[in-house]
């Protein structure tokens, strides 16, 4: 099958590329750690082209990119669109990368210019674009990660959003704090162990005590009340519970939550959200971002034009 | 003047030694980074003796130690005494270090053996011992640090205590998180800048939002609402405010608080506590631990006996 476009989710520390047919069929896929930080040294164009050459994608195939490649420290700045905004507007505000040897466009992020609650996101807007047709006009969308984003849709528009640095907090505490002595390096978080939901509900019930709750993961081991097996789950549950406490302090009790997550985050968040009383609608994050990027590509290069372009540049 | 004893506050990453007269006069002082972790490799006895030799302290001078040197991973385990306990009991439960070539005793920490709120401390008990005569029988004592301890005295006894990993959280976020991009390396926290108390009161008012409040230090800069100058103060205020929110969720509104702190922590905690409505009574942490150790030494070796001992071992 003929490639229609290549799409890239280019984060701070990760790079993910798919080569797609016009109907969304995935022809090829590449992932690497060449995120913005590394590509900033090696060159964004060189990084991108190396992957495309490896997949034998010719110069007539255009590329759409979302994420940190569009930040000020990235390849080419794609300025934030501003709330309230229909997420489809990011397509209109995409920025072309000139003289790249092929058609390339970078999608912008979204900013909430409120001095009391300043917020920015890049990448999550494209995941949202990918599922927007499946969402009701009013919805609460949770996109967990290093910096978890919670987006409030009102009348089909991104009305407000907020960020919780839960994933970063988890990683810092796991790898660098006193809690590393309490947790096996090989630990994987299982939301099935009781320590996970215990920690979620404790953090929701009393988020003010989080700095004490976290320390108790260590002290309960020192005094023989717990072992190392449940410690990673207790840490994860504490951090996710704190995030949910924050969301509930803003939105009140949780009802329907659209969870856009991939593999290892989907299950813990789903369990925690259910424990907090939410009805969870799960969307795969990779599928979502790919669909969002394809939607943008189809708008930029309507399929007929796309075909002509490739005929004109056989590569 | 003749040295009566040497006393050591031996933490996880720090070593502090004073040579004292019987009346508490400081004859000499040494500080280094040879905490438990480093001394564990180099040898506790070799580390201690190197400092004593450098100060020409002869083998007839006894030594009292508090802190992590008494932990299971330390020099010799001094098992926790348990709450509720008169802090003076730590003197009775000190552990001698045999065959060390001089008289050495290590003071124990305190444990709260409550599965719902397991707690341990080592080192802070000796600071408390140093100020116990200046405290009312019922008091709330705050000992800020990497792991801040809050001790509740009831009828003159340590009834309960709790730990908040505030200092560790601050250091991790400052040095390893996205916030490092928002904060100058040379930043020193000044509680005088408005960002400090703003962050304290915000965290106290809504601790559930702390993971969002922390991220906003970065996003408010990205959107031009704040600059780097106040960012370290905002981070410090957020973390201290969260700790105070935790304490108030446990104890209710703050009244008299005995703050046992040294230099750079004293001022921020004092300002934050006042903003939270507390009446602050400040005690210097170094003086407190030295007095606690001297009290122990004076009990182990009543001054007359101490003098005889030194005559018997001219060194």
What is the rounded CA–CA span in Å between residue B90 and residue B78?
Answer: 10
Q: How far is A204 from chain B (nearest CA, A)?
A: 8
Cβ pairs bridging A and B (under 8 Å): 119
- Average pLDDT on B68-96 reads 97
**In chain B, which residues touch A (CB < 8 A)?**
111, 113, 115, 117-120, 147, 162-166, 168-169, 172-173, 176-178, 206-212, 214-216, 219-220, 222-223, 225, 239, 242-243, 245-246, 248-250
C-beta separation of B30 from B16 below 8 A: yes
Q: How far is B220 from chain A (nearest CA, A)?
A: 5
Banded pLDDT at B311 (limits 50, 70, 90):
very low
CB contact under 8 A, A225 and B115: yes
Banded pLDDT at B190 (limits 50, 70, 90):
confident
pLDDT of residue A159: 98
Q: Which of B163, B172, B212 sits opposite A212 (nearest CB)?
A: B163
Residue of B nearest to A117 (CA): B216
Per DSSP, B115 falls in state: T
Read off the tokens for A169: 């907090």
Contact partners, residue A233, CB within 8 Å, separation at least 6: A189, A190, A191, A193, A195, A196, A199
The sign of the dihedral angle between the CA atoms of A27, A29, A35, A38 is negative
**pTM of this structure:** 0.93
What is the rounded CA–CA span in Å between residue B310 and residue B62?
Answer: 9
pLDDT of residue B99: 83
* pLDDT tens string B257-307: 999 999 899 999 999 999 999 999 999 999 999 999 999 999 999 987 545
Read off the tokens for A122: 């890049």
Rg (CA), chain A: 21
User: Which of chain B's residues have a Cβ under 8 Å away from the Cβ of A219?
Assistant: 118-120, 163
What is the rounded CA–CA span in Å between residue B120 and residue B17?
Answer: 23
What is the rounded CA–CA span in Å between residue A40 and residue B124?
Answer: 47
What is the rounded CA–CA span in Å between residue B267 and residue B193?
Answer: 12
User: Which of chain A's residues have a Cβ under 8 Å away from the Cβ of B207?
Assistant: 207-208, 210
Residue the block writes with tokens 């399929």: A303
CB contact under 8 A, A118 and B216: yes
Domain ranges of chain A: 5-122+287-300, 165-277
pLDDT of residue B112: 98
Residue of B nearest to A247 (CA): B209
Residues paired with residue A5 on neighbouring β-strands, in sequence order: A20
Mean pLDDT, rounded, of chain B: 94
Q: Which of A176, A207, A215 sits opposite B207 (nearest CB)?
A: A207
pLDDT of residue B307: 53
Nearest to A206 by CA among A165, A249, A250: A249
Q: Which of A118, A165, A211 sits opposite B246 (nearest CB)?
A: A211
pLDDT of residue A311: 40
CB contact under 8 A, B249 and A209: yes
User: Which of chain B's residues have a Cβ under 8 Å away from the Cβ of A166?
Assistant: 211
What is the rounded CA–CA span in Å between residue B159 and residue B147?
Answer: 19
What is the rounded CA–CA span in Å between residue B33 and residue B211?
Answer: 32
Q: How far is B63 from chain A (nearest CA, A)?
A: 27
**Roughly what angle, to the nearest 10 degrees, separates helices A285-300 and A124-131?**
80
CB contact under 8 A, B249 and A206: yes
Q: How far is A1 from chain B (nearest CA, A)?
A: 42
Rg (CA), chain B: 21
pLDDT of residue A312: 40
CB contact under 8 A, A208 and B176: no
Domains A5-122+287-300 and A165-277 share a fold: yes
CB contact under 8 A, B177 and A168: yes
pLDDT of residue A155: 98
What is the rounded CA–CA span in Å between residue A51 and residue A39?
Answer: 12
Q: How far is B226 from chain A (nearest CA, A)?
A: 9
Q: Is the pLDDT of residue B313 over 50?
A: no
* pLDDT tens string B145-167: 999 999 999 999 999 999 999 99
Q: Is the pLDDT of residue B187 over 90?
A: no
Whether omega before A229 lies within 30 degrees of 0, making that bond cis, reads no
pLDDT in tens, chain A (315 residues): 789 999 999 998 899 999 999 999 999 999 999 999 899 899 999 999 999 999 999 999 999 999 999 999 999 999 999 999 999 999 999 999 998 899 999 999 999 999 999 999 999 999 999 999 999 999 999 999 999 999 999 999 999 999 999 999 999 999 999 999 899 877 677 888 999 999 999 999 999 999 999 999 999 999 999 988 899 999 999 999 999 999 999 999 999 999 999 989 999 999 999 999 999 999 999 999 999 999 999 999 998 754 545 444 433
Q: How far is A198 from chain B (nearest CA, A)?
A: 12
Alpha helices in chain A (DSSP H): 36-42, 44-54, 89-92, 124-131, 166-176, 194-205, 210-222, 231-251, 263-275, 285-300, 303-312
Q: What is the CATH number of domain B5-122+287-300?
A: 3.30.420.300
Read off the tokens for B172: 């991790």
Q: Is the pLDDT of residue B188 over 80?
A: no
ipTM: 0.92
Residue of A nearest to B216 (CA): A118
CB contact under 8 A, B246 and A208: yes
CA A77: distance to chain centroid? Answer: 19
User: Which of chain A's residues have a Cβ under 8 Å away from the Cβ of B249?
Assistant: 206, 208-209
Q: Measure CA of the first residue to CA of the last residue in chain A; give whole Å.
A: 16
Q: Which of A177, A207, A210 sits opposite B172 (nearest CB)?
A: A177
C-beta separation of A201 from A282 below 8 A: no
Q: What is the CATH number of domain A165-277?
A: 3.30.420.310
> In chain A, helix, strand, coil percent, each to 5?
45, 20, 35
């Amino acid at each position: 099958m003929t490639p229609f476009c290549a799409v890239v989710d280019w984060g701070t520390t990760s790079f993910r590329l798919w080569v797609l047919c016009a109907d969304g069929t995935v022809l090829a896929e590449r992932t690497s750690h060449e995120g913005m930080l590394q590509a900033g040294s090696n060159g964004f164009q060189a990084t991108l082209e190396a992957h495309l050459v490896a997949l034998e994608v010719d110069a007539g195939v255009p590329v759409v990119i979302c994420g940190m490649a569009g930040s000020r420290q990235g390849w080419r700045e794609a300025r934030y669109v501003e709330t309230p905004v229909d997420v489809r507007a990011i397509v209109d505000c995409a920025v072309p990368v000139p003289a790249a040897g092929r058609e390339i466009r970078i999608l912008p992020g979204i900013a909430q210019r409120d001095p009391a609650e300043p917020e920015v996101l890049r990448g999550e807007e494209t995941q949202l674009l990918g599922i927007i047709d499946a969402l009701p006009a009013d919805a609460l969308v949770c996109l967990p990660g290093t910096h978890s984003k919670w987006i409030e849709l009102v009348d089909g528009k991104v009305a407000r959003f907020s960020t919780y640095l839960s994933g970063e907090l988890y990683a810092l505490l796991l790898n660098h704090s006193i809690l590393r002595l309490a947790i096996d390096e090989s630990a994987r978080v299982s939301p099935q162990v009781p320590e996970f939901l215990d920690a979620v509900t404790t953090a929701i019930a009393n988020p003010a005590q989080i700095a004490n709750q976290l320390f108790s993961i260590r002290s309960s081991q020192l005094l023989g009340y717990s072992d190392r097996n449940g410690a990673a789950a207790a840490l994860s549950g504490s951090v996710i519970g704190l995030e949910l406490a924050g969301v509930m302090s803003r939105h009140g009790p949780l009802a329907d939550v659209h969870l856009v997550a991939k593999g290892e985050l989907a299950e813990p968040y789903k369990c925690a959200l259910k424990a907090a009383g939410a009805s969870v609608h799960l969307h795969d994050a990779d599928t979502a971002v790919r669909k969002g990027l394809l939607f943008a590509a189809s708008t930029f290069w309507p399929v007929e034009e796309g075909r002509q372009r490739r005929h004109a540049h056989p590569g």
